[in-house]
Structure 1
Amino acid sequence: MDAITTKNGTIYFDDEAYYKLRLHLKENKYSKIFILVDENTAKHCLPEFRANMGGKFNFETIQINSGEINKNIETCMEVWQKLSQLDADRRSLLINLGGGVITDLGGFAASTFKRGIDFINVPTTLLAMVDASIGGKTGVDLGVLKNQIGVFNSPQMVLVVPDYLSTLDQRQLNSGFAEMMKHGLIASGSYWTSLKKVDSFENMDKLIYESLTIKNDIVMQDPEEKNLRKILNFGHTFGHAIESYSLEENNLPPLLHGEAIAIGMILEAFLSNRTMGLGMYQLEDIKSEFNKRFKKVDFTDDDVEKIVELLKFDKKNTRGSINFVVLKRIGDTIIDNKIPKELFHEAFSYYKD
């Protein structure tokens, strides 16, 4: 697959990715090279990564605990302290080898250590490949509130090697696939149709490439989310609140990002139908496709009340107003919509039916 040029770097694929990384390391002569991993990527991905680097470079490994619950400032401080203990300087490089938690947190740690060192993302989950590792968003959560602390800063390059997907279970693959489905809903009806036909996660290269192209085209036009880039938040206003709530102590199971966003997209498609005229056929199509792939979550009335309360912390809010991305039709979005609150509970009722 051809490389994709981003605003501040390049996305490389498969064997070319490793070649370009080796070349980059030789040309830049970094003082030290660090690899950030969690216990899963340390076991399943790091050996393959090292093997493909040919043993020609010295790497220091920094390991953190996996999971969204560890994407916080305390873990970030651990990374900063380890970098300092290992004599990292401003000419050092951090390679983030892992999923969205690793690329988000690692990018933020690198962007702020000694006022910024270079970093490179090597996503190993489907979610990170198609979403988290590109676009320059870095950051950590504030308690259970998603991505409240962070900066925009782009990696030197992103290496997408779909072979790493073989290390994932079905649930993780589904989570990433939800973001791909979002790309179809917000930007391309034909891509949405193609994704509906997917019944296994083998030979995903072309679809991953199309998702990356869609997201990159949007980010290139609006790098800091002033306008167009907000469409990438479809499903995320409710989805982030649901994900945050599921991480608290309650009766809900902890949800992966894509699982929560899938619910959010059903809810926000319902709001689109009620406020912007998204056709009932397309609304039912969206609900049906997500329900095929994701187990339905049983929300109590108390759960719904608490999730709605969390909406006030959404990053897209302005002057106390909750802003939604809605669909006029599949592939056509409108940003910054203020939805009547009485529709929130109706949306959950629609999801439950």
Structure 2
Amino acid sequence: MEAIKTSSYTIYFNEYCYTYLQEVLLPENYSTLFVLADTNTSQYCLPNFLAQVATELPIEIIEIEAGEINKSIETCIEVWHALTELGADRKSIVINLGGGVVTDLGGFVASTFKRGMDFINVPTSLLAMVDASVGGKTGVDLGILKNQIGIINNPTAVLIDINFLDTLPSNQMRSGLAEMLKHGLIADKNYWTQFFDLNNLTTDDLGQLIHESILIKNNIVEQDPKEKGIRKALNFGHTIGHAIESYFLENSAKEPLLHGEAIAIGMIIEAYLSLQQNLISINDYIEVKTVIENIFEKVDFNENDIAEIIKLLVHDKKNVSGEVQFVLLDKIGKTVINKTAENSLIVKAFADYKT
């Protein structure tokens, strides 16, 4: 599969990942190799990864607890201490082996330790392959509030080995599909239509869809690296979705949702807002809702849930002067940014979601 070159780094696929590592992990380039993994990837991915890494560099493994709840500044402090105790210097390099929590947090840790060291992202989940590890966003949550602390800083490379997907449970695979669906909805209607029937999807098909999804995201990021304009389109479904994800994370009576599960709901809600603002047709809305609901199970919301989720919208990072701003669909394959919506309309959107 052909590598994707961005303005500042390259995304390699499958066997070319390890060819690249063999060429770059040399003593004249780096002093020490640190691999950051969580408890899941340490068990299921790390042994196979290390078996394919040919280097004379000393290798140190740093392990963190798995899960969004550990995507915190407290975990960063633990990793910074580990790097210090293990003798990391600015000529060290960090490989972040894991899902979005590991690549986001690991990128932030590397970007800030000793004012910056190189890092490579090796995403092991579908979500991280098509979204979290690409685009240079690094950072952590602030309590339950998603991605409030961080910087945009690009990795040295991103390495995507789709064989890691064999380690994922089905719900994690669906979570990644949400971001791929989003890429079609915001930028490429033909890509979107490829998700109408996933029953006959092969590994090769999935590899090609991942490649196309990254191309879509990279094209948007290259136009707007700092998210001042068009890059905001990548947040379709995320204003509502992040609020839902945060609410379910903090509420002990609720089962936490995976990122993609929350974003799937967010896309339906925000597609409804698009319909009510006469940006898309009723047929487009029904298509969006039907395709997403064929992949993701419905989640139940009561009136109190919806009220609390709406309260969380004020913390969305796209907001300006306290005004909640949405990315809405202009049609399938196109978006409009910086749109607003009354709370009453959001309540109606949730009501329609439940029907």
TM-score by length of 2: 0.97
Could you report, residue by residue, the CA deviation over 1:283-339 in whole angstroms, capped at 9, with x for unpaired residues?
Answer: 111111111111111101000000000000000000011000001110010000011
The answer to whether the 8 A contact 1:276-1:327 is kept is no
- Alignment partner of 1:265 is 2:267: yes
Residue pairs, 1:62-81, within 5 angstroms: 62-81=62-81
**Cα 1:174–1:339 shift into 2, 3 Å:** same
Could you report, residue by residue, the CA deviation over 1:175-202 in whole angstroms, capped at 9, with x for unpaired residues?
Answer: 0011000000000110000122222463
What SS is found at the alignment partner of 1:277?
A: coil
Equivalent residue in structure 2 for 1:205, among 199, 204, 207 = 207
The answer to whether the 8 A contact 2:271-2:285 is kept is yes
Equivalent residue in structure 2 for 1:239, among 228, 238, 241 = 241
Question: Partners of 1:257 and 1:245 in 2: how far apart?
Answer: 12
Query: Could you say what the CA RMSD is over the residues aligned between the two structures, in angstroms?
Result: 1.1
Larger displacement relative to structure 2 (156-165 or 249-258)? 249-258
Match of 2:219 in 1: 217
Could you report, residue by residue, the CA deviation over 1:35-86 in whole angstroms, capped at 9, with x for unpaired residues?
Answer: 0001111111111111111364431000000000100000010100000000
- Alignment partner of 1:115 is 2:105: no
**Cα 1:111–1:55 shift into 2, 3 Å:** closer
Equivalent residue in structure 2 for 1:306, among 301, 305, 308 = 308
The answer to whether the 8 A contact 1:9-1:154 is kept is yes
Match of 1:47 in 2: 47
Could you report, residue by residue, the CA deviation over 1:246-305 in whole angstroms, capped at 9, with x for unpaired residues?
Answer: 101243210000000000000000000011431111111111111111111110100000
**Cα 1:281–1:27 shift into 2, 3 Å:** farther
Question: Partners of 1:28 and 1:13 in 2: how far apart?
Answer: 25
TM-score by length of 1: 0.98
Letter in 1 for 2:32: K
Q: How far off is 1:24 after superposition?
A: 1.1
Instruction: Find runs of 4+ consecutive structure 1 residues off by over 6 angstroms.
Output: none
**Cα 1:28–1:184 shift into 2, 3 Å:** farther
Letter in 2 for 1:131: D
- Alignment partner of 1:254 is 2:227: no
Match of 1:137 in 2: 137
Match of 1:90 in 2: 90
Question: Partners of 1:28 and 1:339 in 2: how far apart?
Answer: 55
Match of 1:194 in 2: 194
- Alignment partner of 1:162 is 2:162: yes
Equivalent residue in structure 2 for 1:287, among 286, 289, 294 = 289
Question: Partners of 1:201 and 1:45 in 2: how far apart?
Answer: 22
Letter in 2 for 1:142: L
**Cα 1:197–1:28 shift into 2, 3 Å:** farther
Match of 1:297 in 2: 299
Letter in 2 for 1:202: T
Question: Partners of 2:19 and 2:56 in 1: how far apart?
Answer: 12
- Alignment partner of 1:58 is 2:58: yes
Match of 2:341 in 1: 339
The answer to whether the 8 A contact 1:34-1:93 is kept is yes
Larger displacement relative to structure 2 (340-349 or 92-101)? 340-349
The answer to whether the 8 A contact 1:323-1:337 is kept is yes
Letter in 2 for 1:34: F
Match of 1:174 in 2: 174
Question: Partners of 1:69 and 1:54 in 2: how far apart?
Answer: 34
Q: How far off is 1:17 after superposition?
A: 1.0
The answer to whether the 8 A contact 1:126-1:177 is kept is yes
Letter in 1 for 2:203: E
The answer to whether the 8 A contact 2:33-2:95 is kept is yes
Question: Partners of 1:54 and 1:344 in 2: how far apart?
Answer: 53
| Structure 2 alignment gaps of length 5 or more | none
What SS is found at the alignment partner of 1:150?
A: strand
Question: Partners of 2:11 and 2:198 in 1: how far apart?
Answer: 24
The answer to whether the 8 A contact 2:26-2:56 is kept is no
What SS is found at the alignment partner of 1:96?
A: strand
What SS is found at the alignment partner of 2:275?
A: helix
Letter in 1 for 2:248: S
Question: Partners of 2:56 and 2:45 in 1: how far apart?
Answer: 18
Letter in 2 for 1:119: F
**Cα 1:27–1:81 shift into 2, 3 Å:** closer
What SS is found at the alignment partner of 1:141?
A: strand
The answer to whether the 8 A contact 2:273-2:341 is kept is yes
Match of 1:153 in 2: 153
**Alignment identity in percent?**
54
What SS is found at the alignment partner of 1:154?
A: coil
The answer to whether the 8 A contact 2:21-2:54 is kept is no
What SS is found at the alignment partner of 1:198?
A: coil
